[in-house]
C-alpha cells in the first residue's frame, strides 16, 4: 500500500503540521484522530488495515491529519474564548490548506470525513460547517456538545462549533440544501458513553429534515477501537 508522510508550516496555525496519506486514488477520506490524538493513531490502531483493500485497489485514499485539541477545547490553561479561536484556526487550516492539498493530489468527486470519539465531533462539525466541501461524514462514537469545555462561557465561536446548538438555528437555504445532500452517519454503541449525544443530534436533524443514518449497535457495543474497526469496515466498504 502506498504510504506517504507530509509536513508543512501552517500559516493558519503558525506551527508545523503533519499528516499521512494512504493509497493513490479513489474517493478521498479526511480522517481525524481521537481526543488530543496524533495523525499516526489511526494507522497504529489498525483502522487503515481494516479496509486496507480499498486503499490498495484505488477505491479510497486516506488523509490522516493531526489534531490541535490540546491547544483548543482541551486547553484548560487559557480562557474558553481562546480555545474557540484556536479551533477556528484549525478549521481554517483544514479548509484552506488540507483540502487544497487533497484536491491537488486527488481529482475524484466527493470528500468523506470520518473519525472516532472526539474525531467524530470533528467529522460532523467540519462537514456541517463546510457542506460545499464535504459530501459524506461518518462519525463513530462521536460526541458533539462542547459545553463541558467552556466553563460556562459562550460566544458565537462556541455556538458555530457546537452542532446541537447551531443546527436547530440553521435557516440559510444554501446551507440547508447542501447539508441535505450529504450522507451523514452517526454510528454508536448501546453502551457508548456518547450514545445520548448521537440520539440527541439525530432528533435535531430529524426536526430540520436533514437526512442521516443513526446506527446504534447492540450486543454490548461500547466506546473503543474494536467496535470502531467494525464500523469502519461496514461504512467505508460501501465506497
Burial class (CB in 10 A: 0-12, 13-18, 19+), 77: exposed
Q: Could you tell me the pTM of the whole model?
A: 0.98
Q: Which residue numbers in the chain have pLDDT < 50?
A: none
pLDDT tens digits along 52-87: 999 999 999 999 999 999 999 999 999 999 999 999
Give the CATH number, domain containing residue 131.
3.40.50.1820
Mean pLDDT, all residues of the chain: 97
Return the C-alpha cell found at 94: 483544514
Q: What is the pLDDT of residue 218?
A: 97
Q: How many domains does the chain have?
A: 1
Number of H helices, E strands in the chain: 11, 8
Burial class (CB in 10 A: 0-12, 13-18, 19+), 35: middle
State what percent of residues in the chain have pLDDT above 90: 99
Domain residues for the domain of 59 are 3-236
SS3 208: coil
Cα–Cα separations (whole angstroms), residue 177 to 11, 15, 163, 218: 32, 36, 17, 33
Amino acid at each position: 500500500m502506498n504510504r506517504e508522510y507530509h509536513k508543512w508550516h501552517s500559516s493558519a496555525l503558525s506551527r508545523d503540521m503533519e499528516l499521512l496519506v494512504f493509497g493513490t486514488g479513489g474517493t478521498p477520506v479526511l480522517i481525524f484522530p481521537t481526543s488530543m490524538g496524533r495523525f499516526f493513531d489511526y494507522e497504529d490502531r489498525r483502522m487503515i488495515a481494516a479496509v486496507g483493500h480499498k486503499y490498495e485497489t484505488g477505491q479510497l485514499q486516506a488523509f490522516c491529519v493531526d489534531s490541535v485539541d490540546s491547544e483548543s477545547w482541551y486547553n484548560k490553561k487559557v480562557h474558553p474564548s481562546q480555545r474557540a479561536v484556536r479551533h477556528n484556526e484549525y478549521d481554517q487550516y483544514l479548509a484552506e490548506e488540507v483540502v487544497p492539498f487533497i484536491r491537488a493530489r486527488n481529482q475524484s468527486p466527493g470528500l468523506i470525513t470520518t473519525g472516532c470519539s472526539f474525531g467524530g465531533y470533528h467529522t460532523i462539525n467540519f462537514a456541517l460547517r463546510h457542506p460545499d466541501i464535504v459530501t459524506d461524514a461518518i462519525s463513530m462514537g462521536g460526541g458533539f456538545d462542547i459545553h463541558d469545555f467552556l466553563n460556562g462561557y459562550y460566544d458565537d465561536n462556541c455556538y458555530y462549533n457546537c452542532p446541537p446548538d447551531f443546527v436547530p438555528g440553521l435557516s440559510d437555504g444554501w446551507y440547508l440544501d447542501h447539508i441535505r445532500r450529504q450522507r451523514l452517519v452517526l454510528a454508536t454503541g448501546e453502551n457508548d458513553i456518547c450514545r445520548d449525544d448521537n440520539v440527541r443530534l439525530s432528533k435535531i436533524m430529524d426536526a430540520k429534515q436533514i437526512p442521516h443514518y443513526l446506527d446504534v449497535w447492540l450486543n454490548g457495543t461500547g466506546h473503543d477501537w474494536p467496535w470502531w474497526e467494525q464500523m469502519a469496515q461496514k461504512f467505508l466498504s460501501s465506497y
